[in-house]
């Protein structure tokens, strides 16, 4: 009996030690696993590995980063730089000096027109000028006679009336001929009637439209030439009304022809005050920093307007690794690289805004090569 109790006691003691040993082994295994996980979260790279992978270290920088409003539009010129040329009278085109697309200088001959009506107007003006000279002499003579009671007052008043009527007629013809382009002073002096009139370029520019050919009969309401002075090309953009609240005068605009790499820079000069009810857009007038070369009026462009610019902490885009909806950077300390989640914001010119990044003293980021480090996990 005593031996049995002694055996049971010994067996209990051994069981207790066995359970304690198992518990201790479990704790050590858990601790070892924890240490292993911690080791996996830190990626250690040698200087040679970093050099070969092109990893560069540094700190976030303070940069002005903005959002962009996307829009489109056309190359255009101010209305004052677009000139239409019409014939002031009906006439037959006698000659055509230029071709569509040619550049002409102000005062350069475009075409000449002839018509019997031109001759009739000049003849009527010369006849009126002759009568006016006679009526003036008659008025002056009757004024002297009336003053000496040698002629009736009525005769003098009639002479004055005839003179004033003819003077108004003559002045009207003179104004009409001047609009046509005929020098009435020269016409009155020499009496030589012009058989045709000439139309000259009103501005320096390119001929964008031309509807004249020799022998064609043209009317005053018919467009003959359209000239564009392209010394002040600008952009006319269309922005959706929903984005109008972000647009301000002076904002930077970047534009380019689709399919090309050249970027034109300018700024918002004027903002339209009316919304197009059909397209729900508002017009913007944009001045370019440099006049574009080789672009025709009406060229289609895609543009971005820089809005909501702010000074933020930013890193190169290649410093950020994205996984699903999360973004990470790699922070280096004395033990190696550790992945750290960040919140990203605006992106511009290869830099992205990062928030929620607090670096301890001596820590740096992998500004380049983050994807290489991510692949080493």
The residues pairing with 196 across neighbouring beta strands, listed in sequence order, are 114
Write down the pLDDT at residue 179: 87
CA distance 268 to 325: 35
Q: Both tokens of residue 212? A: 């004249």
CA distance 158 to 231: 59
Say what the pTM is. Answer: 0.59
Residue-range domains of the chain with CATH = 42-65+311-375 (2.40.420.20), 69-79+229-308 (2.40.30.170), 80-228 (2.40.50.100)
Cα–Cα distance list, 224 to 83, 96, 98, 111 (Å): 11, 11, 12, 9
CA distance 64 to 61: 10
Q: What is the DSSP string of 187-242?
A: HHHH-PPPSEEEEE-SSSEEEEEE---TT-EE-TTSEEEEEE-GGG-EEEEEEEGG
**pLDDT per position in the chain (377 positions), as tens?**
444 444 444 444 444 444 444 444 444 444 443 343 334 478 888 888 888 888 889 888 888 888 889 999 999 988 888 899 999 889 999 988 899 989 999 999 999 999 998 999 999 999 999 999 999 898 888 887 777 776 677 888 888 899 999 999 999 999 999 988 888 888 888 889 988 899 999 989 899 999 999 999 999 999 999 999 887 889 999 999 999 999 999 999 999 999 888 999 999 999 999 999 999 999 999 999 988 877 888 899 999 999 988 888 899 989 899 888 889 999 988 888 888 899 888 888 889 989 888 888 888 888 998 888 888 76
CA of residue 77 relative to chain centroid, distance: 11
Give backbone dihedrals phi and psi of 139, rounded to 5 degrees, phi first. Answer: -65, -45
Write down the pLDDT at residue 150: 64
Q: Both tokens of residue 93? A: 């085109």
């Amino acid at each position: 009996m005593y031996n049995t109790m002694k055996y049971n006691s010994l067996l209990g003691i051994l069981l207790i030690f066995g359970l304690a040993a198992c518990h201790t082994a479990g704790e050590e295994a858990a601790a070892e696993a924890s240490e292993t996980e911690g080791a996996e979260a830190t990626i250690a790279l040698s200087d040679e590995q970093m050099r070969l992978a092109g990893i560069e270290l540094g700190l976030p920088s303070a940069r002005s980063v903005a959002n962009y409003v996307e829009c489109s539009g056309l190359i255009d010129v101010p209305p004052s730089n677009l000139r239409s040329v019409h014939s002031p009278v009906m006439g037959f085109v006698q000659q055509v000096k230029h071709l569509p697309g040619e550049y002409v200088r102000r005062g350069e001959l475009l075409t000449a027109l002839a018509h019997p009506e031109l001759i009739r107007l000049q003849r009527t003006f010369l006849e009126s000028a002759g009568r006016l000279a006679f009526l003036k002499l008659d008025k002056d003579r009757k004024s002297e006679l009336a003053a000496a009671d040698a002629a009736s007052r009525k005769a003098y008043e009639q002479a004055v009336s005839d003179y004033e009527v003819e003077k108004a007629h003559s002045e009207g013809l003179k104004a009409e001929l001047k609009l046509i382009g005929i020098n009435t002073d020269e016409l009155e002096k020499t009496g030589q009637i012009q058989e045709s009139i000439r139309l000259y370029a009103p501005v320096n520019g390119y001929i964008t439209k031309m509807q004249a050919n020799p022998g064609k009969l043209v009317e005053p309401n018919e467009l003959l030439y359209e000239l564009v002075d392209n010394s002040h090309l600008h952009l006319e953009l269309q922005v959706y009304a929903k984005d109008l609240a972000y647009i301000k005068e002076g904002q930077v605009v970047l534009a380019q022809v689709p399919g090309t790499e050249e970027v034109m820079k300018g700024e918002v000069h004027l903002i339209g005050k009316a919304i197009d009810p059909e397209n729900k857009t508002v017009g913007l007038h944009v001045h370019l920093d440099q006049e574009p070369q080789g672009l025709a009026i009406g060229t289609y462009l895609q543009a971005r307007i820089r809005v909501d610019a702010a000074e933020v902490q930013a890193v190169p885009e290649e410093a950020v690794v994205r996984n699903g909806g999360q973004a990470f950077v790699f922070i280096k300390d004395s033990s190696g690289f550790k992945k750290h989640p960040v919140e990203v914001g605006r992106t511009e010119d290869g830099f992205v805004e990062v928030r929620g990044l607090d670096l301890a003293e001596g820590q740096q980021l992998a500004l380049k090569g983050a994807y290489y480090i991510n692949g080493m996990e």
